[in-house]
Amino acid sequence: MPYSGHMPTPKGVGSSPLTGLSARLLVLTIFFVMLSEVFIYAPSIGRYRLVYMEERIAAAHLAALATASPEGGAMSPRLTAEILEHARSHRIVCRSTSELKTLVGEASLKIDEIYDLREAAFFPLIWEAFLVLGRGGNRIIEVVGPSPRAPETLVRTVIDEAPMRYEMLGYSERILFLSIVISLITATLVYISLQLLFVRPMLGITESMIAFRADPEDARYSVAPSSRTDEIGRARRELASMQSALRQALRQRSRLAALGTAVTKINHDLRNILASAQLVSDHIRVSPDPRVRQIAPTLLGALDRAIKLCSQTLAFAHDGELPPSHTRFDLRPLVEEVVGDLGETGPEGARFVCRVPQDFAVEADRDQLRRVLTNLILNAYQATAKTVSIGASLANGSVTIEIADDGPGLPEPARARLFEPFSGSSRIGGTGLGLSIARDLMRGHGGDVRLAASGETGTVFEVVLPAEAAPAAR
């Protein structure tokens, strides 16, 4: 059953709603929305004040037009005061090319500041708006500007600043309230989306990882691969495939462990059987038949090595492969021994060419190198190669032994996992251990076994050895 987040939450998976990612993003969203509202608010409060003053100019012009009495006589002070109050002004002066109109309420008026709307600019407007908001009390200001109705008429109106400030404060309050509402709505939407898109799937992934860590072999805790195409979907798919690869590796490991135990037992009994065979074979040394006496050394040598191999395998099962015991010896006789031991194993008419120079000495564990060469030559024979040749050279502090054959080359399935135990074999009856053992043995020497070439004309493997054994490996 794939794990899709329905298990009880393992301890410590979910973080507190206040310290979780969504909560932090909630706070950040509120902050950022408020911040962007400030950037919007600053020019708009400047503009609000400008519009207010333009309205006052328009009202003043309208008031001045109202004073044009049909009789052309002067207006009564009461009517003038009423008109000025209606236009919320203390004094109005309108000047056009043809006439000048003046409405004066209070004669002695001290003007604190004059604002000419013809000079209004973006940043000064913002700055002055904030100055007005921060100021207490009332000031008398004169606003100068062209009338919106008749641009050739220049209007000057003297007004109180306090009413303008109250209206600006009211506008600011409305903006603030709106900002709070917008940021709360946005933050809630961001919170919900994050919960659904990110936090919950992440929680599912984390739960699966914790459950997997607790019991990697229990397939119930596999994370279900997602069809999502985004990063979360990818993370789920990667995790699912990692879990399944790991689980497979663990299963393989326990299979190998079980196999190891079985092999150890078989080895144990096989050693006993070989020991009895060795005892009996001792008699053939003194056989009256000279041909039997002639094969005695080869047979006894083979039995001896087989017993030794069994003993080493038993020791390996106990403590791993024995470290190589280095000696210096000539390579050519060893190669000839190996070929002699393999005897008739090769295909009919198979030819062996030893290109190893006379007196070419190597420093290695002789028995282990014998096993490596046996495996490689045997592989070539089993691949039905007609000619197998072995050469050796020394370069850059390394000895390279080359085992070349003219067989059909490595089959495609064998290539991918050639040196992995039980994986590289594509031969009927093959276990896929030969190359893996050979490589392990040579790596134990500080060297390696590698595939140098393979194609239709044959295969070349290289056994690499340090020319001089490292002191630690001795």
Ligand X SMILES: Nc1ncnc2c1ncn2[C@@H]1O[C@H](COP(=O)(O)OP(=O)(O)OP(=O)(O)O)[C@@H](O)[C@H]1O
Residue ranges binding ligand X (CB under 6 A)? 375, 379-380, 383, 405, 407, 409-411, 414, 418, 424-427, 430-436, 459
Q: Which is closer to ligand X, CB of 142 or CB of 405?
A: 405
Residue 393 site contact among Mg ion, ligand X, none (CB < 5 to 8 Å, cut-off depends on kind): none
Residues in contact with Mg ion, shown as a per-residue x/- string from 426 to 445 under the rule CB under 5 A:
--------x-----------
Which of Mg ion, ligand X, none binds 60 (CB below 5-8 Å, type-dependent)?
none
Beta partners for residue 398, in sequence order: 395, 466
Positions of E strands within 17-128: 91-95, 100-104, 113-116
Q: Quick one: tokens of 378?
A: 């045997």
Closer residue to Mg ion, CB minimum distance, 46 or 434: 434
Interacting span for Mg ion (CB under 5 A) from 16-24, 273-281, 352-360, 374-382: 374-382
Angstrom distance (rounded) from CA 320 to CA 441: 11
Comparison of 71 and 344: residue with beta carbon closer to ligand X = 344
Residue 339: name its binding partner from Mg ion, ligand X, none (Cβ under 5 to 8 Å by kind).
Answer: none
Among the listed ranges 139-147, 179-187, 255-263, 377-385, the one in contact with Mg ion (CB under 5 A) is: 377-385
Rounded-to-integer distance, Cα 147 and Cα 88, Å: 16
Residue 240 contacts which entry, Mg ion, ligand X, none (Cβ below 5-8 A, type-dependent): none
CA–CA gap between residue 121 and residue 130 (Å, rounded)? 15
Q: How far is the CB of 316 from ligand X (least distance, A)?
A: 16
Angle at 20 between CA 195 and CA 207, to 5 degrees: 70
**Rounded distance between C-alpha atoms, residue 294 and residue 465, angstroms:** 35
Least CB distance to Mg ion at residue 424 (A)? 9
Query: Residue 144 pairs with which residues in a beta bridge?
Result: 116, 156
Least CB distance from residue 350 to ligand X, whole Å?
12
CA pair distance 99, 438, nearest whole angstrom: 115
Give 180-213 as a DSSP string: HHHHHHHHHHHHHHHIIIIIHHHHHHHHHHHHHH
Structure tokens at 128: 């002055």
Residue 90, classed as helix, strand or coil, is coil
**Residues 109 and 141: beta-carbon distance below 8 Å:** no
Pick the closest to residue 313 from 322, 324, 326, 325 (CA basis). 322
- Taking the least distance from each CB to Mg ion, the nearer of 204 and 434 is 434
- For the bound state, the minimum distance from the C-beta of residue 387 to ligand X, rounded and expressed in Å, comes to 12
- Residue 425 interacting partner from Mg ion, ligand X, none (CB closer than 5 to 8 Å by kind): ligand X
Closest distance of CB 399 from Mg ion, Å? 23
Residue 267 DSSP one-character state: H
For ligand X, which is the closer residue by CB, 10 or 409? Answer: 409
- Cβ distance to ligand X smaller for residue 124 or 455: 455
Nearer to ligand X among residue 380 and residue 442 (C-beta) = 380
Binding residues for Mg ion, per CB under 5 A?
A: 379, 434
